[in-house]
Amino acid sequence: MNKTNDYSDDKAYRRMLFELGSLVNGNRARSHAHRSQIIDNVTNGLSSLLTAFSRNRNLMSESTTNIYRSRRVFLESKSDYQALNAEQRQRVMDEIEYQCLKQRSDSNREIMSLNVALTRFNQEFVQLLEAVKETNAAKLYFNDVQHEHNVEILDNGLDAVGLTEGAGEFGNLIAQLTEQVSANTELLEEGFEASNQNGQKFAEIRESLEAELAAIDECWDKIEAQQALAAELVASL
């Protein structure tokens, strides 16, 4: 069937144009909603990153330091350690110092690996910002061109509009754009689904981080009890 004949009726293409406007405006509203959802996910993700990397990790690192501080005191309080001569005692403490430095070096390596991953994240974020800038620049250029087009219309009237040859051709253009808009709608649906999955994953991660904090607090209480005991032992040495 010839599409030109399908849309030769003015009423037919006007109906299509109205329906197209509804689809385009609907996509625009959903696109803004999707972008808001993405920003929420980014915010939640960064918040969880700070929680995991700064709060939880720092608390555990402080706990590790306190563990080794108490270990030294516990050894000093033991009779078998006290029976050693000065050189032997120093050797024991050197071993403990090595253990402390070893775990700290291993921890530094872990942090460095995370820093590398964060650096890659920053690089990808920079690329995203560059893409946004390019999109904005293209939009600004488009607006400048269309502004000039308005000036031409003011000067020359209908001759500057650039109308199509007839209703049939115009109807075909509307049909082609409708296909594009329908494809955009499908992309939005896929985007919403992906964002919903990401949001669920971020929520699960946040929940696990809070559970991790509870475990850290429990461990902290045990270490604090050892710290208190170590303080008593120091006073008695």
Map out the domains of the chain as residue ranges. Answer: 3-128+158-236
At 169-220, the pLDDT tens digits run 888 899 999 999 999 999 999 999 999 999 999 999 999 999 999 999 999 9
User: Model confidence over 66-115: pLDDT tens digits?
Assistant: 999 999 999 999 999 999 999 999 999 999 999 999 999 999 999 999 99
d(CA 71, CA 226): 9
Report the phi/psi class of residue 157: left, alpha or beta, with left for phi > 0 and alpha for psi in -120 to 50: left
The pLDDT of residue 9 is 63
pTM above 0.75, yes or no: yes
User: Pick from 14, 68, 122, 102: which is nearest to 230 by CA?
Assistant: 68
Percent of the chain residues topping a pLDDT of 90: 83
Question: Taking CA 116 as the corner, what is the angle to CA 114 and CA 117, rounded to the nearest 5 degrees?
Answer: 65
DSSP calls for 27-44:
HHHHHHHHHHHHHHHHHH
SS3 content of the chain, % helix, strand, coil (to 5): 95, 0, 5
Average pLDDT over residues 23-40: 95
Greater confidence (167 vs 169) lies with 169
Distance (Å, whole) CA 122 – CA 129: 10
Average pLDDT over every residue of 47-73: 94
User: Considering only CA atoms, which of 189, 177, 193 is closest in space to residue 23?
Assistant: 177
Res 235: pLDDT: 86
